[in-house]
């Protein structure tokens, strides 16, 4: 996610009727940062090597 992309997405989200708040950009960055962790949790639950290895790459373990 780029800063410009996030700002553009938030702009169009608001233009289409979405509710925005003062710190929506920071909130979005934090949620995006958690994506690899969420994927790792999914990978552990599936017990599938291909997901586990991909999650390790995203987390910087491999």
- Full DSSP string of 8-47: HHHHHHHHTT----TTHHHHHHHHHHTHHHHHHHHHHHHT
Tokens 């491999």 locate to 62
Mean pLDDT of 35-57: 97
Is the model's pLDDT at 62 over the cut of 90? no
Lowest mean pLDDT among 9-13, 18-22, 30-34: 30-34
Q: Are 43 and 51 in contact (CB under 8 A)?
A: yes
52 alpha carbon, distance to own chain's centre: 18
| pTM, two decimal places | 0.67
d(CA 29, CA 3): 9
């Amino acid at each position: 996610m780029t800063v410009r992309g996030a700002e553009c997405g938030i702009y169009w989200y608001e233009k289409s009727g979405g509710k925005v708040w003062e710190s929506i950009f920071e909130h979005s960055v934090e949620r995006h940062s958690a994506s690899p962790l969420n994927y790792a949790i999914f990978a552990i639950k599936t017990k599938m090597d291909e997901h586990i290895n991909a999650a390790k790459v995203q987390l910087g373990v491999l």
